[in-house]
Amino acid sequence: MKKLLVDFEAFLMGLIPALYGTAASPNYTANFHLLERYGCVTKGINQHTDAEFFLFFQSEQMKEDFLKKLASVERLSPEFHEFDE
């Protein structure tokens, strides 16, 4: 039986373009050293105020494209929750 990948494993393998999560996640704290070389956004992406959120990208260009899109939507609006790559 094949092992299912955890989101951060799929990200590190390049199978998904971005990784969204919270610093409260055990996977994040245990694997931050593997993720810190990737472009990351932490401001303006929190879904709530109970935790710090992060969004890692496979490339700096993907991060910049996301930031441009993020600037065009209101935080926590329906569009905020719906836009993607």
Q: Distance between CA atoms of 8 and 67, rounded to whole angstroms?
A: 21
**pLDDT tens-digit series, residues 12-32:** 999 999 998 888 888 788 888
DSSP, collapsed to helix, strand or coil, labels residue 75 as coil
The torsion angles phi and psi of 48, rounded to 5 degrees, stand at: -155, 175
Kindly state whether residue 60 falls inside one of the protein's structural domains: yes
Q: Which of the pair, 80 or 64, is modelled with greater confidence?
A: 64
Kindly state whether residue 71 falls inside one of the protein's structural domains: yes
Kindly state whether residue 44 falls inside one of the protein's structural domains: yes
pLDDT bin (cut points 50, 70, 90) of residue 84 is low
Kindly state whether residue 1 falls inside one of the protein's structural domains: no
DSSP, collapsed to helix, strand or coil, labels residue 8 as helix
Kindly state whether residue 2 falls inside one of the protein's structural domains: no
The predicted model scores a pTM of 0.82
Kindly state whether residue 26 falls inside one of the protein's structural domains: yes
Please give the pLDDT value at position 63.
Answer: 94
Question: How many domains is the chain built from?
Answer: 1
Residue 47 lies in domain: 7-82
